[in-house]
Amino acid sequence: LAKTTQPISMDSYEGQEVNITCSHNNIATNDYITWYQQFPSQGPRFIIQGYKTKVTNEVASLFIPADRKSSTLSLPRVSLSDTAVYYCLVAPPGFGNEKLTFGTGTRLTIIP
């Protein structure tokens, strides 16, 4: 599985747009990029997944450049409730998804 690198922590003020970048230089052709969110005392929760270009859902946007060696999770107009740890994972679908490996994640703190 491709190794990922993310910032250990980030702070942001309420109402700001937050961008968390993940590096995955060894991403394989059939790998997808998936982001999870984990609140204190809860298990991780799937947020968004993409393969290339841009994906958007009701929670976030995911930007993936053409070389796919990095990806950026964008959270629009964050609120205090977005304080959580965010994990970037890279793995192929199907068989690869069966053994997702979580790194240390990015601890995002939203400041009032």
Binding of residue 105 to other proteins (CB under 8 A): yes
Q: Pick from 46, 69, 76, 80: which binds other proteins (CB under 8 A)?
A: 46
Contact (CB, 8 A) for 35 and 72: no
Buried b or exposed e, range 79-97, using 16+ CB within 10 angstroms? eeebbbbbbbbbbeeeebe
We find the least distance from the C-beta atom of residue 103 to other proteins, in angstroms, to be 7
Considering the complex, state which of residue 3 and residue 45 has its C-beta at the smaller distance from other proteins: 45
What is the footprint of other proteins within residues 59-78 (CB under 8 A)? none
Binding of residue 103 to other proteins (CB under 8 A): yes
